[in-house]
Amino acid sequence: MNRFSYMRAGSIEEAVKAASADSSARFIAGGTNLVDLMKYNVERPTRLIDITRLPLNTIEDTKSGELRLGAMTTNDEVAHDPRVQSRYPLLASAILAGASPQLRNAATTGGNLLQRTRCYYFYDTGTPCNKREPGTGCPATFGRNRIHAILGTSEHCIATHPSDMCVALAALEAIIHIAGPDGERAIPMSEFHRLPGDRPEIDTTLRPGEIITAVELPPEDFVEHHTYLKLRDRLSYAFALVSVAAALRMDAGTIVEARIALGGVAHKPWRDPAAEAMLRGHPASTERFAAVADHILRDAKGFQDNAFKIDLARRGIVRALSQAAAGTPQSQTDKRIR
Partner 1 sequence: MSASQNYSSPALEKIPITLIVNGETRTIEVLPWTVLLDLLRDHLHLTGTKKGCDHGQCGACTVIADGKRINSCMALAVMKDGASITTIEGIASDGALHPLQQAFIDHDAFQCGYCTPGQICSGVTLIQEGRARTRDEIREWMSGNICRCGAYTNIVDAIEQVLGSNQEAGR
Task: Summarize as ranges the residues that interact with partner 1 (CB under 8 A).
Answer: 1-11, 14, 28, 30-32, 35-36, 38-39, 46-48, 50, 52-53, 76, 99-103, 105-106, 236-237, 332-335
> What is the closest distance, in whole angstroms, from the C-beta atom of residue 140 to partner 1 in the complex?
20
> What is the closest distance, in whole angstroms, from the C-beta atom of residue 103 to partner 1 in the complex?
6
> What is the closest distance, in whole angstroms, from the C-beta atom of residue 42 to partner 1 in the complex?
12
Phi-psi region of 305 (alpha: psi -120 to 50; beta: other; left: phi over 0): alpha
> What is the closest distance, in whole angstroms, from the C-beta atom of residue 85 to partner 1 in the complex?
12
Q: Considering the complex, state which of residue 109 and residue 130 has its C-beta at the smaller distance from partner 1.
A: 109
Name beta bridge partners: 49: 7, 27
Q: How far apart are CA 30 and CA 73, in angstroms?
A: 10
Q: How far apart are CA 162 and CA 149, in angstroms?
A: 11
> What is the closest distance, in whole angstroms, from the C-beta atom of residue 110 to partner 1 in the complex?
15
Q: Do β-strands 47-50 and 25-28 pair in parallel, antiparallel, or remain unpaired?
A: parallel
Phi-psi region of 17 (alpha: psi -120 to 50; beta: other; left: phi over 0): alpha
φ and ψ at residue 318, rounded to 5 degrees = -60, -45
> What is the closest distance, in whole angstroms, from the C-beta atom of residue 59 to partner 1 in the complex?
17
Q: Considering the complex, state which of residue 238 and residue 274 has its C-beta at the smaller distance from partner 1.
A: 238
| Contact in structure between 258 and 273 (CB atoms under 8 Å) | no
Q: Considering the complex, state which of residue 80 and residue 282 has its C-beta at the smaller distance from partner 1.
A: 80
Q: How far apart are CA 224 and CA 155, in angstroms?
A: 41
Taking Cα atoms as reference points, which of 220, 210, 227 lies closest to residue 89?
Answer: 227
Q: Considering the complex, state which of residue 106 and residue 195 has its C-beta at the smaller distance from partner 1.
A: 106
Q: How far apart are CA 244 and CA 136, in angstroms?
A: 33
Q: Considering the complex, state which of residue 103 and residue 195 has its C-beta at the smaller distance from partner 1.
A: 103
> What is the closest distance, in whole angstroms, from the C-beta atom of residue 124 to partner 1 in the complex?
13
> What is the closest distance, in whole angstroms, from the C-beta atom of residue 34 to partner 1 in the complex?
9
Taking Cα atoms as reference points, which of 73, 269, 32 lies closest to residue 152?
Answer: 269
Q: Considering the complex, state which of residue 96 and residue 151 has its C-beta at the smaller distance from partner 1.
A: 96
Angle at CA of residue 151, ends 110 and 172, nearest 5° = 40
End-to-end CA distance of the chain: 45
Q: Considering the complex, state which of residue 207 and residue 335 has its C-beta at the smaller distance from partner 1.
A: 335
Q: Considering the complex, state which of residue 64 and residue 333 has its C-beta at the smaller distance from partner 1.
A: 333
Angle at CA of residue 215, ends 218 and 269, nearest 5° = 85
